[in-house]
């Protein structure tokens, strides 16, 4: 093979891992894309820069399907913006972040999308968006069509947080049906609101609504109940559905059973539900671990981990939310008033690689499917999540043997803590290419400036996962 011009970068000596297979290969990068994946026996083509990946894995840049970036919710604003979150993402081997355009009270879904897109202009990596619909009126179908045409084909629905962002069951049905006609997929936060509200009331009456009792306020069965209801709606209208942050084997099994009946249903889980349990709420800083759904009992975590290892989890999202300890502690005597969520866009790769591959024995090809390939496909992001000719040159080199202890001082998220402090992890990105630019190498981070593109989601095909 000959190249008209020297390649920008060649990554050689490593094992290239895709969801569909792996093997030794040289990756040739030109003009922001992968020009060739060639035999390691062939001589390197002329190039500007070579990255020696001998003994290392070369995987597609991560696609994080679940990030909250600089969002204001009530009185609390997340501490990062697209610049900061994207830098942290790149340090962590994620080259595409998908954020949520959640409308403020009185704001339309389409206006929320426009506002987020403007904020994304400072991103250092590529970005995409989920829309969000909270209620149905006679403009909603047109807004969904306009969002799809504008490249937003995934829409978040909440079955809880009544009077804030909750969508009633009839709204869920209309969105699922309308979005399906646009080649899209609904992304559902499924917890049964009436069960949650009652559990919160009971906890408050017993003086147990504080962060230390967070797990009590959102029982596991609330998740399974809402998943079952939404799956029935999806099956009824013949639409696909993706469940964000599943935490229990019961919920995962409902999705699997629906899939066997022909429903296109998908399960996402998050690093923290695979690695942290409710014991953290007895910690000195329980507020730091308050997220929704809550961290679960150790047996639940073990069963979820087992489901991930047997192939029943489709995607890993960080559910990144950057708050400080001070923000979280302010109302930690009542979890109903606290900001929820954990910082995690930077640690998604090492936390899940360690848990699933290094300690769990998951084939690395399967890990790549969950970390990059499936999230790309389930968001309509063509050219992402794969190392193949023509794909975007988003590439991570990692050493599966190298271990490093997590310390918040070494991380780049705008939070003063990490839930993984002190853990020894492997799977840290050593070199990262984002759209062909070397942004991380042995010399550290090379800020590319505000070059992240707003990606246009294509229609999501009917049968897209292997």
Q: Determine contact, residues 421/408, Cβ cutoff 8 Å.
A: yes
Q: What angle do CA 249, 254, 260 make, to 5 degrees?
A: 120
Structure tokens at 169: 């069951």
Output the CA torsion 389→394→396→397 (10° steps). 50
CA separation for the pair 284, 281 (Å, rounded): 8
Of 80 and 319, CB closest to Zn ion: 319
What phi-psi label fits residue 390: left (phi over 0), alpha (psi between -120 and 50 degrees) or beta?
A: left
Would you give the binding string for Zn ion spanning residues 253-292, x where CB under 5 A is met? ----------------------------------------
Among positions 66-105, residues that touch Zn ion (CB under 5 A) are: none
Q: Which string of DSSP letters, residue by residue, matches 140-154?
A: HHHHHHHHHHTT--E
Structure tokens at 114: 């426009």
Strands 94-100 and 62-67: parallel
Of 161 and 445, CB closest to Zn ion: 161
Minimum distance of Zn ion from residue 310's CB (angstroms): 25
Of 351 and 438, CB closest to Zn ion: 351
Minimum distance of Zn ion from residue 364's CB (angstroms): 27
CA separation for the pair 206, 202 (Å, rounded): 6
Residues ≥6 apart with Cβ < 8 Å to 126: 95, 96, 97, 384, 392, 394, 434, 435, 452, 453, 454, 455
Among positions 289-328, residues that touch Zn ion (CB under 5 A) are: 319
Minimum distance of Zn ion from residue 23's CB (angstroms): 36
Of 15 and 248, CB closest to Zn ion: 248
Of 314 and 319, CB closest to Zn ion: 319
* 223 interacts with Zn ion by CB under 5 A: no
Structure tokens at 437: 């630019």
Minimum distance of Zn ion from residue 66's CB (angstroms): 6
Of 82 and 428, CB closest to Zn ion: 82
3-state secondary structure of 11: strand
Q: Give the residue from 269, 457, 436 showing the smallest Cα distance to 376.
A: 457
Residue with the two structure tokens 């069509």: 145
Buried-exposed string 260-294: b where 16+ CB fall within 10 A, e elsewhere: eeebbbbbbbbbbbbbbbbebbeeebbbbbbbbbb
Q: Give the residue from 33, 30, 26 showing the smallest Cα distance to 11.
A: 26
Of 91 and 187, CB closest to Zn ion: 187
CA separation for the pair 404, 422 (Å, rounded): 9
Minimum distance of Zn ion from residue 193's CB (angstroms): 16
Count of residues in contact with Zn ion, rule CB under 5 A: 1
Minimum distance of Zn ion from residue 156's CB (angstroms): 8
Q: Determine contact, residues 214/294, Cβ cutoff 8 Å.
A: yes
Of 64 and 319, CB closest to Zn ion: 319
Minimum distance of Zn ion from residue 68's CB (angstroms): 6
> For 441, phi and psi rounded to 5 degrees?
-150, -165
Residues ≥6 apart with Cβ < 8 Å to 137: none
Minimum distance of Zn ion from residue 134's CB (angstroms): 15
Of 319 and 392, CB closest to Zn ion: 319
Residue with the two structure tokens 């002329």: 46
Of 56 and 348, CB closest to Zn ion: 348
Residue facing Zn ion at closest CB distance: 319
Minimum distance of Zn ion from residue 319's CB (angstroms): 4
Minimum distance of Zn ion from residue 70's CB (angstroms): 14
Of 199 and 321, CB closest to Zn ion: 321
Minimum distance of Zn ion from residue 95's CB (angstroms): 20
Name the DSSP letter for residue 243.
E
Binding site for Zn ion (CB under 5 A): 319
């Amino acid at each position: 093979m000959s190249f008209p011009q020297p390649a920008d970068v060649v990554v050689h000596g490593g094992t290239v891992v895709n969801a569909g297979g792996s093997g030794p290969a040289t990756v040739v990068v030109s003009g922001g894309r992968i020009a060739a994946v060639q035999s390691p026996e062939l001589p390197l083509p002329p190039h500007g820069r070579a990255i020696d990946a001998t003994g290392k894995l070369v995987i597609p840049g991560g696609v994080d399907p679940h990030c909250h970036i600089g969002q204001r919710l009530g009185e609390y604003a997340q501490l990062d913006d697209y610049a900061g979150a994207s830098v942290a993402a790149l340090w962590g081997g994620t080259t595409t972040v998908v954020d949520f355009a959640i409308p403020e009270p009185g704001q339309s879904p389409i206006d929320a999308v426009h506002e987020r897109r403007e904020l994304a202009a400072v991103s250092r990596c590529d970005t995409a968006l989920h829309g969000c619909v909270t209620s149905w009126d006679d403009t909603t179908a047109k807004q969904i069509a306009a969002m799809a045409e504008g490249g937003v084909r995934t829409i978040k629905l909440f079955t809880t947080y009544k009077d804030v962002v909750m969508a009633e069951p009839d709204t869920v049905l209309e969105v699922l049906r309308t979005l399906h006609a646009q080649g899209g997929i609904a992304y559902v936060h499924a917890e049964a609101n009436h069960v949650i509200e009652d559990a919160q009331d009971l906890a408050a009456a017993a003086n147990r609504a504080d962060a230390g009792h967070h797990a009590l306020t959102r029982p596991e069965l609330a998740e399974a109940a809402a998943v079952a209801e939404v799956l029935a709606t999806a099956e009824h209208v013949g639409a696909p559905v993706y469940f964000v942050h599943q935490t229990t084997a019961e919920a995962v099994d409902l999705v699997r059973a629906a899939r066997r009946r022909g429903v296109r249903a998908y399960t996402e889980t998050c690093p923290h539900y695979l690695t942290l349990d409710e014991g953290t709420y007895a910690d000195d800083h329980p507020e730091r671990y308050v997220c929704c759904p809550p961290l679960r009992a150790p047996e639940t975590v073990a069963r979820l981990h087992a489901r991930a290892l047997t192939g029943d989890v489709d995607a890993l999202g960080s559910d990144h939310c950057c708050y400080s300890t001070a923000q979280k502690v302010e109302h930690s005597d009542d979890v109903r008033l606290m900001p929820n969520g954990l910082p995690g866009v930077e640690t998604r790769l090492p936390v899940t690689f360690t848990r699933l591959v290094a300690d769990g024995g998951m084939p690395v090809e399967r890990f790549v499917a969950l970390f990059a390939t499936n999230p790309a496909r389930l968001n309509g992001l063509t050219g992402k999540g794969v190392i193949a000719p023509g794909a975007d040159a988003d590439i991570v080199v990692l050493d599966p043997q190298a271990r490093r202890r997590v310390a918040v001082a070494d991380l780049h998220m705008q939070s003063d803590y990490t839930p993984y402090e002190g853990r020894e992890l492997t799977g840290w990105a050593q070199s990262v290419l984002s759209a062909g630019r070397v942004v991380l190498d042995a010399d550290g981070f090379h800020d590319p400036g505000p070059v992240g593109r707003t990606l246009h989601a294509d229609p999501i095909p009917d049968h897209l996962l292997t």
